[in-house]
Structures are given as C-alpha cells and as structure tokens.
Amino acid sequence: MFYHDRRLQYKVRVDKPNPAFAKMLQQAIGGIEGEIRVCLQYLFQAWGNRGPVKYKNMLLETGTEEIGHIEMLATAVALNLEGATTSLKDQIVGANPVVGAVMGGMDPRHFLSTGLAAMAADSNGVPFNGSWVVATGNIAADMIANVNAESSGRVLATRLWEATDDPGMKDMLSFLIARDTMHQNQWLAVIEELGGLKQQFPIPNSFPQNEEVQGFNYSFVTTNIYKDQEAFGRWAEGPSMDGKGTFQMVPGEPLGDIPILPPPAPEGHAQTE
C-alpha cells in the first residue's frame, strides 16, 4: 500500500508563467515518454513479478518515486498557467495579437476543461493510453522497456530544458534529468546482475535456440533492390552481440510461395461476378 508526504520530492518554482510551456510540459506527464507511463509500468512490473523478489521490491521503490514526478510536473503546469486566462481572452477576442502570438501555443483545454491545471494527456491533448504500460513477465525484456522509457524520457526532458529560460523550470528539469540518468543506469544494472547481455540475449533466453530456423538468426538481410553494401556495418560482420553467432550479410529473397487463399465462404457474402 502507499503513503504520501504533502511536500514535493524536489522544489518546483516558476519565475515567469508561460502557458505555451505548460502545454509542452504535458508531454512529460501524459505522453508516451512521460511520468504516468513509467510510474504505472514499474508498478505493474512489480505487481506481476514472479521472482526473484528483489526486483519486485526494487520496482516498487522506483514506481513509487515516479508518482512524485507526475506531481512535480502537474504543479509546474499549474504554475505556468497563471495569468493565462486574461491573455487567452485577448487572443480570442482579437484585442491584442502580440499577446495572442505568445498565447498561440496554449492548450485550450487547460482553460476549458481544467481551469488552469494539468491533465492526463500529452502536449497535443491526446489522452494517456494504457497500452504504453509494458510488463511482459520477462525481467530482461522489462528492463529494456524501462531503459527505452527513460531514454526517450531523458531526451524529452533535455529538450524541455532547452525550450525554457525560466530558472525555476530549468532547475526542476535538471533534477528530473538527473533521475533519468540514474534510472537508465539502474535498469542496465539489473541486466548485468542477471548475467549481462551475453547471458540474457536473445530475450527471452529461455527459448531453445536450436528451434530457430537456422541461418537466419544472425544474418542481416538486405531488401534494397541493388543488394549493395550501403548498409554495411558492425551488424553485418563479426561475432554477434549475444556471443552466440556470427553476423553475416545476405541478400533478401523469397523462400515462400505466392500465397493463395481458398475461395470465400458463402455466408461471408463476398461479391459475385
């Protein structure tokens, strides 16, 4: 179960409210790269964990931390919306186009739906989608999903950091960026503890590789019509990254037939000629 402290994990201060930046911050709340996603992802991974239990415990720790990141960003959105209504009205009624220019990037729902507060949506107002919560039941796969979430999340946070010159916002983002650094490292550390890339890859490592169609599991297949070498690289020669094969480059070509389906069932009412 869960508890809270009314204080924030880190301070949130907005020196100069900016509704357009409030809209951009929504990406870090309800976007696919955002904090609701990582929060639910880590918690669902923990709740579905079937051992070793230490990973469940660890996921609970960090999943719980992420709730507080949503909280920080939601607070930041609300603070950035101070004064937005007046400017919005100027924009809508056409009284002040210069103000309107600045306000042009405001999310209308920040006024219409929330009365100047955050939403569970991304920077375009697209609602958070539960399909983004990845919990596969395979810890290695989940750790990669988590590195992915924290990588795109940290890229996002650095772009938000670039898009503002508000000292308070830059400070808050610098904290969140630091946490993303840790979290990327943290999920990689699990993979190391599980034996590292060579032990865990290919994921899942529990499938017998002799059941794979041999000759295709370490081959880079070209599909360009010239079958040339423009895409040559590390992935086309040398030992594979999982240490279990040798990369080679092979031209793509069809091994299957032209598929022909049986005629339609009468009750499906296809066309008749």
Q: Does 154 bind Ca ion (CB under 5 A)?
A: no
Q: Residue 112 binds which entry of a second copy, Ca ion, none, with Cβ cut-offs from 5 to 8 Å by kind?
A: a second copy
Kindly tell me which of 181 and 199 has the beta carbon lying closer to Ca ion.
181
Kindly tell me which of 14 and 70 has the beta carbon lying closer to Ca ion.
70
Residue 92 phi/psi, 5° resolution? -65, -45
Q: Considering the complex, what minimum distance in angstroms separates the CB of residue 79 from a second copy?
A: 7
Q: Which of 167, 158, 78, 154 is nearest to 114 (CA)?
A: 78
Instruction: Count CB-CB contacts under 10 A for residue 209.
Output: 12
Q: Give the Cα separation of 78 and 91 in Å (integer).
A: 20
Kindly tell me which of 23 and 69 has the beta carbon lying closer to Ca ion.
69
Q: Which of 99, 162, 117, 120 is nearest to 27 (CA)?
A: 120
For 67, half-sphere exposure in the C-beta direction (CA atoms, 13 angstrom radius) is 12
Q: Nearest 5°: CA angle at 133, between 129 and 136?
A: 145
Amino acid identity, position 7: R
Q: Residue 12 binds which entry of a second copy, Ca ion, none, with Cβ cut-offs from 5 to 8 Å by kind?
A: a second copy
Q: Residue 246 binds which entry of a second copy, Ca ion, none, with Cβ cut-offs from 5 to 8 Å by kind?
A: none
Q: Considering the complex, what minimum distance in angstroms separates the CB of residue 157 from a second copy?
A: 9
Q: Give the Cα separation of 110 and 67 in Å (integer).
A: 21
Q: Considering the complex, what minimum distance in angstroms separates the CB of residue 193 from a second copy?
A: 4
Kindly tell me which of 69 and 110 has the beta carbon lying closer to Ca ion.
69
Amino acid identity, position 65: E
Q: Which of 24, 54, 37 is nearest to 151 (CA)?
A: 37
47-86 positions binding Ca ion, by CB under 5 A: 69
Q: Considering the complex, what minimum distance in angstroms separates the CB of residue 157 from Ca ion?
A: 8
Q: What residue number has its CB nearest to Ca ion?
A: 69
Q: Are 194 and 206 in contact (CB under 8 A)?
A: no
From residue 257, how far is each of 212, 253, 254 by CA, in Å?
20, 11, 8
Q: Considering the complex, what minimum distance in angstroms separates the CB of residue 149 from Ca ion?
A: 9
Q: Residue 101 binds which entry of a second copy, Ca ion, none, with Cβ cut-offs from 5 to 8 Å by kind?
A: a second copy
Q: Residue 167 binds which entry of a second copy, Ca ion, none, with Cβ cut-offs from 5 to 8 Å by kind?
A: none
Q: Residue 259 binds which entry of Ca ion, a second copy, none, with Cβ cut-offs from 5 to 8 Å by kind?
A: a second copy
Q: Considering the complex, what minimum distance in angstroms separates the CB of residue 43 from Ca ion?
A: 13
193-222 positions binding Ca ion, by CB under 5 A: none
- Binding region for Ca ion (CB under 5 A): 69
